[in-house]
Amino acid sequence: MADRMLQFVRLDQRNPEKRDAALRRADFGEIYGEFEPAAAAAQASRCSQCGVPFCQVHCPLNNNIPDWLKLTAEGRLEEAYEVSSATNTFPEICGRICPQDRLCEGNCVIEKGFGAVTIGSVEKYITDTAWERGWVKAPKPRRELGRSVGIIGAGPGGLAAAERLRVRGYDVHVYDRHDRVGGLMIYGIPNFKLEKEVVTRRWKQFEEGGIRFHLDTAVGRDLGFAELRARHDAVLIATGVYKAREMAAPGIGLAGIVPALAFLTASNRAGLGERVPELESGELSAAGRHVVVVGGGDTAMDCVRTAVRQGAASVTCLYRRDRANMPGSMREVYHAEEEGVRFEWLGAPEAFLGSQGAEGGRVRAVLAQRMHLGLPDATGRQQVAPIPDSRFELRADLVIMALGFDPEDLPAAFGEAALTVTRWGTLKVDHRTMMTALPGVFAAGDIVRGASLVVWAIRDGRDAAEQMHLWIQAQAAGQADARPMAVAAE
Ligand code: FAD
Ligand code: SF4
Ligand code: SF4
């Protein structure tokens, strides 16, 4: 069958059909269609089956990519699904939203010269087909262990751990302050990147497998952390990071300047069929407005593209570095440009001007200044500095601030001072055991890494589940004290 592979010399790289930008602007549907079976097999057959597959090395889950590509090329899709789902809890989600250009595909050996194998699209195709054909099964154990775990946070980190632990036979309880399961996959990431049905069908299946969700339950507010610990043999904290970074500038308190996540959550809630008063009142709506989004990461890209779909009069992204130095995925910038977003590179806000001067009324413009890139700092990143006398104004009656996220003060929120944090406020864990300073309390995902990616949260959740299992088993065998703790070092 090897002759089916190595087709990259003959076949061009192709992703599934991308909807025309004019159509995309008018709705919140995903922008890519699905591969036809023959096209998926053909694209998978472009893989050269490398002895050392760099795609796999650079996938945070170390997915066995060459094997599932080969199986897809051979039309053995059920086996491809088995291989792909062995290392990934949500392959159809990663296939849609991983920044493949920085991970697997960006490191594919045929990327230069021929164009990478379309790994993400094939991964999505395999699992979407598995769902259609009923191959995706609820996580059910062979036998119950009679022990329970509590997981705080129903985002990808918490869910990945929940699935692993349930399959092992634990009684799994997931607590979340929101009314739906999925974390940022539901309330942060917009529908045009990840349709919500893709997440909710997993939720329903997890329930079918016996995982118990306690929604609208904020730990530290509705349920004490100590009480939660007392209920379970071990606890996982997977609460993500939500505190929006702020900037100090004249006029920052004007009406019409809103945080990115509030804007995106309102839009996602409306997409889920809810009435959202802040959208109806216009407070969080871009419709008819001149919108400026400040920031250059993936959250900023999601905001500009959401604003376009809400019918903004104009959408500008203001970012202080240039295109080559922005943190967001290039692919997202390209999509945004196609959809009509204007980019003001090398520009930073200096002040926000209101309808009644800098201190009053609604924002009417952003006063920005030009920046230039200087020498790299200690981290290797080029520093930015303002260019004198380079001010310019951008018309804006909605400004969305997308400057990134920090963790909230979790020890305070949970009333647990022994829960130690790093200087960035992320939870300190022993990176071998993923245990915090508290015995039996583990942590995973953004709350440990800082704002990161879904695929890393999945990896952490799976690893934490394994460590929790080992710890509970060791406790049962009376060996708990044999495990060293090393959380003191950052
Ligand atoms: P989260 O997904 O944040 O889930 C944490 C959960 O914990 C939430 O449901 C929250 O309600 C709950 N919680 C918090 N505190 C409590 C408490 N006290 N009690 C009970 N529950 C609590 N990543 C990608 O890979 N690709 C993308 O395209 C992408 N786009 C993004 C777009 C936006 C706008 C944002 C903000 C992020 C994006 N990310 C993307 C990053 C990705 O969403 C996160 O890295 C990932 O969701 C982190 O997973 P997590 O499980 O650690 O936390
Ligand atoms: Fe690539 Fe992400 Fe899939 Fe890994 S999980 S193969 S990085 S798309
Ligand atoms: Fe195939 Fe590219 Fe991975 Fe090599 S690096 S195994 S060509 S997908």
Mean pLDDT of 319-323: 93
Q: Which residues lie with the beta carbon below 6 Å from any ligand 1 atom?
A: 97-98, 152-158, 175-178, 183-185, 188-189, 193, 218-220, 238-240, 264, 298-299, 302, 445-446, 452-455, 457
**Separation of 174 CA from ligand 2 center, angstroms?**
26
Mean pLDDT of 453-481: 91
Which of 175, 239, 258 for a ligand 1 pocket mutation test, highest count of atoms within 8 Å of Cβ? 239
9-40 pLDDT, tens digit each: 788 888 888 899 999 999 999 999 889 898 99
Query: CA 187 to CA 191: how far, in whole Å?
Result: 10
Mean pLDDT of 381-390: 89
Which of 32, 55, 62, 119 for a ligand 2 pocket mutation test, highest count of atoms within 8 Å of Cβ? 119
426: exposed, middle or buried (C-beta count within 10 Å: 0-12, 13-18, 19+)? Answer: buried
Nearest CA to ligand 3 atom 4: 50
pTM of the predicted structure, to 2 decimals: 0.94
pLDDT band at 199 (very low <50, low <70, confident <90, very high): very high
| Cβ of 88 less than 6 Å from ligand 2 | yes
Nearest CA to ligand 2 atom 5: 94
Which of 32, 88, 184, 459 for a ligand 1 pocket mutation test, highest count of atoms within 8 Å of Cβ? 184
pLDDT band at 327 (very low <50, low <70, confident <90, very high): confident
| Ligand 2 atom nearest to CA at 58 | 7
Query: Mean pLDDT lowest for which of 336-350, 374-388, 422-436?
Result: 374-388
Mean pLDDT of 137-152: 96
| Cβ of 65 less than 6 Å from ligand 3 | yes
| Ligand 2 atom nearest to CA at 98 | 2
| Cβ of 368 less than 6 Å from ligand 3 | no
Confidence at residue 475, expressed as pLDDT on a 0 to 100 scale: 92
| Cβ of 59 less than 6 Å from ligand 3 | no
**Separation of 109 CA from ligand 3 center, angstroms?**
6
**Separation of 108 CA from ligand 3 center, angstroms?**
5
pLDDT band at 179 (very low <50, low <70, confident <90, very high): very high
| Ligand 1 atom nearest to CA at 188 | 34
**Separation of 355 CA from ligand 2 center, angstroms?**
47
User: Which of 149, 207, 150 has its CA nearest to residue 181?
Assistant: 207
Long-range contacts, stretch 358-362, CB < 8 angstroms, 24+ apart: 358/250, 358/251, 359/250, 359/251, 359/253, 360/254, 361/254, 361/255, 362/254, 362/255, 362/256, 362/397
330-369 pLDDT, tens digit each: 889 999 999 999 999 999 999 999 987 655 689 999 999 9
| Cβ of 89 less than 6 Å from ligand 2 | no
Query: CA 434 to CA 464: how far, in whole Å?
Result: 6
| Cβ of 84 less than 6 Å from ligand 2 | no
| Cβ of 108 less than 6 Å from ligand 2 | no
Confidence at residue 64, expressed as pLDDT on a 0 to 100 scale: 97
Q: Residue 456 above 50 pLDDT? A: yes
| Cβ of 114 less than 6 Å from ligand 3 | no
| Ligand 1 atom nearest to CA at 264 | 34
Q: Residue 2 above 70 pLDDT? A: no
Phi, psi angle pair for 392, to nearest 5°: -150, 155
| Cβ of 123 less than 6 Å from ligand 2 | yes
Nearest CA to ligand 1 atom 43: 184
Q: Residue 489 above 50 pLDDT? A: no
**Separation of 56 CA from ligand 2 center, angstroms?**
8
